[in-house]
């Protein structure tokens, strides 16, 4: 059992004990748990840079979602309520990638449905995008990190094969990363590069070819996919000053889409 799993269990037992005793919820205490010995969760993950993570033949969005829902490859799988594979159009113009599910997403199994999700929908609508029509919304990790912390690097790498399979099936025209976790993972940075220095310009994601089952999508695009990053909607809710640069990024995204779609 990992330290994180022990902490979640201990917190639950403390709250349940206090409630049964007198109904009073006492302030939480710090726990000093450590991981048990043995194989660490991340060591069971496929190396995302290896050939093992290439999309298998016949891969489909439904198949990926089923694999995600049955996955327990990292410690987040033990503490989730629902996995959140993602949702949206099957042939999207834009694939939006966030960090990971929050409380509401964990409860519903749907991505970006809380306050940040409502803001994301408004941001996309401002440039003519809707998740039901021309976007697909996904996250770096498909299970909720406890207490809404950022996904750890090992968790992000462990889950990355699912994202790569989704990208290969969806073949989006543009990938739009919201927040530094998604941007760093897609661009294979050290994970620590600030979003302020990644936003405002396009990068390239060297996409795999679509799997055979996605025949008919090959003519949509080939080779790399443009990647644009901006601030996470949660950051915009916390800091009004970030809304102006985020709007500049949305205008860049709109211009690129117009360029791709042509006259
Ligand atoms: S976060 Fe990803 S790798 Fe970890 S258990 Fe969930 S689906 Fe599996």
CA gap 209, 84 in Å, rounded:
25
Ligand 1 centroid to 45 CA: how many Å?
10
Ligand 1 centroid to 8 CA: how many Å?
17
72 CB under 6 A from ligand 1? yes
In 3D, which of 175, 119, 185 has the Cα closest to residue 151?
A: 185
CA distances from 249 to 12, 162, 198, 252, 254 (A): 42, 27, 11, 5, 9
163 CB under 6 A from ligand 1? no
71 CB under 6 A from ligand 1? yes
For the chain, 263 residues long, give each residue's pLDDT as a single digit of tens. 666 666 667 666 776 676 666 665 555 555 556 556 544 444 355 444 443 456 677 899 999 999 999 999 999 999 999 999 999 999 999 999 999 999 999 999 999 999 999 999 999 999 999 999 999 999 999 999 998 899 998 899 999 999 999 999 999 999 999 999 999 998 887 777 899 999 999 999 986 655 554 544 444 445 789 999 999 999 999 999 999 999 999 999 999 999 988 77
* Structure-token pair, residue 189: 């940075």
Let me know: does 174 contact 225? Beta carbons within 8 Å. yes
Fold (CATH) for 3-25+57-261: Uracil-DNA Glycosylase, subunit E (3.40.470)
94 CB under 6 A from ligand 1? no
CA gap 224, 204 in Å, rounded:
6
CA gap 3, 73 in Å, rounded:
16
* Structure-token pair, residue 8: 């979640």
Domain boundaries of the chain, sorted by first residue: 3-25+57-261
Ligand 1 centroid to 261 CA: how many Å?
35
* Structure-token pair, residue 104: 């509401």
Ligand 1 centroid to 143 CA: how many Å?
6
Q: Which atom of ligand 1 is nearest to the CA of 100?
A: 1
Q: Which atom of ligand 1 is nearest to the CA of 77?
A: 5
Q: Whose CA is nearest to atom 4 of ligand 1?
A: 74
76 CB under 6 A from ligand 1? yes
Ligand 1 centroid to 113 CA: how many Å?
20
């Amino acid at each position: 059992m990992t330290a994180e799993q022990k902490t979640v269990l201990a917190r639950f037992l403390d709250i349940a004990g206090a409630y049964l005793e007198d109904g009073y919820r006492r302030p939480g205490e710090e726990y000093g748990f450590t991981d048990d010995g043995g194989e660490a969760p991340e060591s069971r993950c496929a190396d995302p840079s290896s050939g093992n993570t290439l999309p298998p033949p016949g891969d489909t969005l439904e198949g990926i979602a089923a694999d995600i829902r049955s996955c327990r490859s990292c410690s987040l799988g033990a503490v989730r309520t629902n996995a959140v594979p993602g949702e949206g159009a099957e042939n999207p113009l834009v694939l939006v990638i966030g960090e990971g599910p929050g409380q509401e997403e964990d409860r519903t199994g749907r991505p970006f449905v809380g306050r940040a999700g409502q803001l994301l929908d408004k941001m996309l609508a401002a440039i003519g995008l809707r998740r039901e029509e021309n976007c697909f919304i996904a996250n770096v990790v498909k299970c909720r990190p406890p207490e809404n912390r950022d996904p750890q690097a090992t968790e992000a790498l462990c889950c990355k094969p699912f994202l790569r399979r989704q990208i290969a099936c969806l073949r989006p025209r543009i990938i739009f990363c919201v927040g530094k976790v998604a941007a760093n993972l897609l661009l294979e940075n050290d994970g620590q590069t600030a979003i302020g220095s990644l936003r405002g310009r396009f990068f390239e994601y060297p996409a795999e070819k679509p799997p055979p089952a996605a025949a008919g999508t090959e003519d949509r695009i080939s080779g790399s996919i443009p990647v644009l990053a901006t601030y996470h909607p949660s950051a915009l809710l916390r800091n009004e000053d970030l809304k102006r640069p985020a709007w500049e990024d949305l205008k860049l995204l709109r211009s690129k889409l117009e360029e791709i779609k042509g006259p």
